[in-house]
């Protein structure tokens, strides 16, 4: 950790950005881990790093588009500023008039903001601009060219919009590459893919239903909750599952996954699945968005 801290301190001196730099803590060597307890942390960090590397082309395209937009808007503002400063006497009083315009640049900014609906954030730094203008010959400034400004506006309104659509279309292809057969989806490196066989993925290779081994224990609790026609109400289920002390939002998601037939009631299998998912969450694992196939209820499989 001491070496890591020194490295980050050194990087902080050369990375000229206000954002906090993301650091990845993992192990990429081929030797036994010195502290096996860090395995899950290393795997999670490694997965994040790979995903970020995979998204670099898209992020680079977005950065270039954003830079282009920023430069185009800045060029428009500069054109208006130069045009506003082209008010110089032909012979006498040039320096005094120049000094006056530079000192009043802030007021010129405000006037341009009102007349041309320019965002305050698009203006260059006032002090920096005043310093640069002190060495310029205002008489050589060019007049405003409306046609060029129209071209810039058309580019911002139409060309950039089309490019953004293309980037979004390319982005829509990425989930299928990452989730289904992608380089870092956790199946290609079976059985050592990230999270494989853990949490909700535990029992993925078993022939028997993963929840079945603990079902007798869950059944004992189930039959104390006054089932009617083989099912318990959500209110009765709540009395038991709140003992987990998980937040209501998490318990709501668990019940949504476990209530396979969406009738607002739980049979013995759905109740067992509910408790299994609670155990998964209490162990620190993430809940799946959809119920994995290996956790689908045996009765549901039979019906299908």
Query: According to the model, what pLDDT value does residue 29 have?
Result: 67
Strand residues in the chain grouped as ranges (E):
232-233, 265-266
Instruction: Using alpha carbons, select from 204, 211, 219, 255 the residue that is nearest to residue 234.
Output: 255
Query: According to the model, what pLDDT value does residue 91 have?
Result: 52
Query: According to the model, what pLDDT value does residue 186 have?
Result: 46
Query: According to the model, what pLDDT value does residue 2 have?
Result: 45
Q: Tokens for 75? A: 């060029």
What is the value of pTM for the model shown? 0.47
Quote the CA–CA distance of 194 and 196 in Å, as a whole number.
Answer: 6
Query: According to the model, what pLDDT value does residue 88 have?
Result: 55
Query: According to the model, what pLDDT value does residue 224 have?
Result: 93
| pLDDT lower than 50: segments of the chain | 1-5, 175-187, 302-304
Pairing of strands 265-266, 232-233: antiparallel
DSSP letter assigned to residue 16: -
Quote the CA–CA distance of 137 and 175 in Å, as a whole number.
Answer: 55
Distance set, CA 259 to CA 11, 71, 200, 232 (Å): 51, 54, 16, 11
Reported as half-sphere exposure (CB side, CA atoms, 13 A), residue 303 has a value of 7
Quote the CA–CA distance of 45 and 51 in Å, as a whole number.
Answer: 10
Q: Measure the CA dihedral 165/167/172/178, to 10°.
A: 180
Domains with residue ranges and CATH for the chain: 19-54 (no CATH), 59-157 (1.10.268.20), 199-303 (1.10.238.10)
């Amino acid at each position: 950790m001491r070496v890591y801290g020194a490295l980050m301190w050194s990087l902080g001196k050369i990375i000229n950005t206000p954002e906090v730099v993301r650091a990845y803590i993992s192990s990429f060597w081929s030797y036994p881990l010195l502290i096996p307890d860090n395995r899950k942390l290393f795997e999670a960090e490694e997965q994040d790093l790979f995903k970020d590397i995979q998204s670099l082309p898209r992020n680079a395209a977005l950065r270039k588009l954003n830079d282009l937009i920023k430069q185009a808007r800045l060029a428009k503002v500069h054109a208006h500023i130069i045009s506003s400063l082209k008010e110089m006497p032909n012979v006498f009083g040039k320096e005094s008039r120049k000094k006056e315009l530079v000192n009043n640049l802030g007021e010129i900014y405000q006037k341009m903001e009102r007349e041309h609906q320019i965002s305050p954030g698009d203006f260059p730094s006032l002090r920096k601009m005043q310093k640069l203008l002190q060495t310029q010959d205002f008489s050589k400034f060019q007049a405003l060219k409306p046609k060029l400004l129209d071209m810039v506006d058309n580019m911002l309104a139409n060309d950039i919009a089309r490019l953004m659509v293309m980037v979004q279309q390319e982005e829509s292809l990425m989930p299928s590459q990452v989730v289904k057969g992608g380089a870092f989806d956790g199946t290609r490196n079976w059985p050592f893919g990230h999270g494989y066989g853990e949490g909700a993925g535990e029992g993925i290779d078993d022939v028997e239903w993963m929840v079945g081994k603990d079902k007798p224990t869950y059944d004992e609790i189930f039959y104390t909750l006054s089932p009617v026609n083989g099912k318990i109400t959500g209110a009765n289920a709540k009395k038991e599952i709140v003992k987990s002390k998980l937040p209501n939002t998490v318990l709501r998601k668990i019940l949504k996954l476990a209530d396979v037939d969406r009738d607002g009631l739980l049979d013995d299998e759905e109740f067992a699945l509910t408790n299994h998912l609670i155990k998964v969450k209490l162990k620190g694992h993430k809940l799946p968005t959809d119920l994995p196939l290996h956790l689908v209820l045996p009765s549901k499989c039979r019906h299908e």
